[in-house]
Amino acid sequence: MDRKNFLKNYEQFQLGELVTESTHPDTLGLAELAQTDLLLAIDKLKKTDLKALEVFLTHAEKLISLRNSVQECLTKGGRIFIGGCGATGRLALLLESLWRKQVRTDQVMAFMAGGDVALVHSLEGFEDFPQHGARHLKELGFTPQDLFIGVTEGGETPYVIGATEAAAAISGNPTYFLFCNPQDQLKKKVERAKRVIENMRISKIDLTVGPMALSGSTRMQASTVLQLAVGFALFAEPPVSPQEFIEGFIQSYQEIPAESLEPLIRKEWEIYQQKEYVMYMPRSMALTVFTDTTERSPTFSLPPFESSLPEEANSLSYVLLPEANDVLQAWQVLLGRLPRPLNWKEIGYHTTEAYLESFDFSKHALEQREGRLLGGRQYLFEITERESILHLTLGGIEVDLQWSDPSLLVRNTLLKMLLNIHSTLLMGLMGRYESNIMTWVRPSNAKLVDRAARYSQKLLSERGVHISYLDIVNKIFDLKQVPGGRPFKERGLVGMVCDHFMKHKERDSR
């Protein structure tokens, strides 16, 4: 969204009052703790996860109607469509891939804002347009016999709302809308969310579990409970109750010694400090690994996975699928099906099949990156399963974590949570946030522009400098226009904004 359109509608994107955007009191000082006591920082994040899961348990009864509707639709031969954006889009694609691997039918169809390529490379601004979500759903062939589940951490994402409203107008089955903020709060603050909540043809499931461990980073606790909620509806058959399912998951997570991640976090940080690179090599749970590594880019202003286009910057990490012989086979290994690019050429090249196929994660990726990195060393980060053991190895460090649950859903969600801890504290070591505030967030859509503006305003206020929200927003758009995104590479957007206004204050005081 450009400056003019944002300023015209900015009140609909001022989301600081929402629970998912608020600051978690238990993780204040997380960045500093990562640098001084990494083990304690790991413990804090795991406890924050467990607290969210305990709250999720109080919502368990809400999942019964969802499961019943899903199973009834499947029994009648209908399909389940799951749509999301960003983290929720990636969890949707994961659930489809698990379904294809476990059930081996095409009755589950998942999509995310921007199409499949957005799994590995976020497309700027796509989620801001509800009409794109509606169009995407219809182009996939959604029918009155199908059921749609819209998944949005905040409950306000325009793309998901557009798809949800379109599904409710088409389908003879219930349409579901899952989110992690209180309904009353959303109705009061966000007109588009109010419209969905008051639509009697849409079944709402509020799974509010509190603030995120890293302020606004809904890739963490919110997307975890949403993944479990939709996964339960798809895979957990009676007599397993939602309470039993969630309690079993909590126990599985409690049993994993997350502190074992400490040497791996530190090793990856050391590699980047030496200006070297990491090549993740997941042997079975590739999509979960892609999700975490992709989401580091917009959250912490890291270069995203590069395509074969020579002008793109090199990412710190990449992913290798050694069982894939070529580009297309790598996408099939990743998704469990052929990729589905949007091919909306009038919107942009990034939606096309050609752009999707410019990302090569096949067995050739290691060699091709060597050519791009001009001799820069790459370390393999292997993630493999050996029966009931999750084996992690990087740079001579080996960690074995035991898990007892055989479920693909549970194992992928446990790995997701462990990687969230790993990457969040890795970024803390790299100075990519302050306390528990995302000071390096990339303002790639309207919600992230608002988030960057609020965080800047908060930090400036703490330093005795009071600047209006709109003045900060205008400065953000000024910085966004700098060629090559230079400010984000050097300092981080929020830091640049704060520096600008602090300098103005110093000049005014002379």
DSSP 264-323: HHHHHHHHHHTT-EEEEEESS-HHHHHHHHHHHHHHHTPPPPP-S-TTSPPPSEEE--TT
First CA to last CA across the chain, in angstroms? 38
What's at 128, amino acid-wise? D
Residue 8: partners with Cβ closer than 8 Å, 6 or more residues away: none
The answer to whether 123 and 350 have CB atoms below 8 angstroms apart is yes
The answer to whether 234 and 420 have CB atoms below 8 angstroms apart is no
Name the phi and psi angles at 107, rounded to 5.
Answer: -80, -5
Q: Which helix (H) or strand (E) holds 478?
A: helix 469-480
Q: What is the pLDDT of residue 298?
A: 87
Angle, helices 493-509/469-480, rounded to nearest 10 degrees: 120
Residue 20's CB is within 10 A of a number of other CB atoms, namely: 25
Spatial distance between the Cα atoms of 316 and 174, rounded to a whole number of angstroms: 43
201-210 burial code (b ≥16 CB/10 A, e <16)? ebbbbbbbbb
CATH 3.40.50.10490 fits 52-255, yes or no: yes
Q: Which helix (H) or strand (E) holds 488?
A: helix 486-490
Instruction: Tally the C-alpha atoms within 13 A of residue 180's C-alpha that lie toward its C-beta.
Output: 31
The answer to whether 476 and 460 have CB atoms below 8 angstroms apart is no
Spatial distance between the Cα atoms of 53 and 75, rounded to a whole number of angstroms: 30
Spatial distance between the Cα atoms of 365 and 346, rounded to a whole number of angstroms: 30
Q: Where in the chain is the domain with CATH 3.40.50.10490?
A: 52-255
Q: Which two tokens stand for residue 341?
A: 């690019």
Q: Which two tokens stand for residue 11?
A: 């009140």
This prediction's pTM: 0.95
Q: What is the pLDDT of residue 176?
A: 98
Strand pairing report for 317-319 and 80-84: unpaired
Which residues of the chain carry a pLDDT beneath 70? 482-490, 507-510
Q: What is the pLDDT of residue 212?
A: 97
Q: What is the pLDDT of residue 488?
A: 52
Q: What is the pLDDT of residue 487?
A: 47
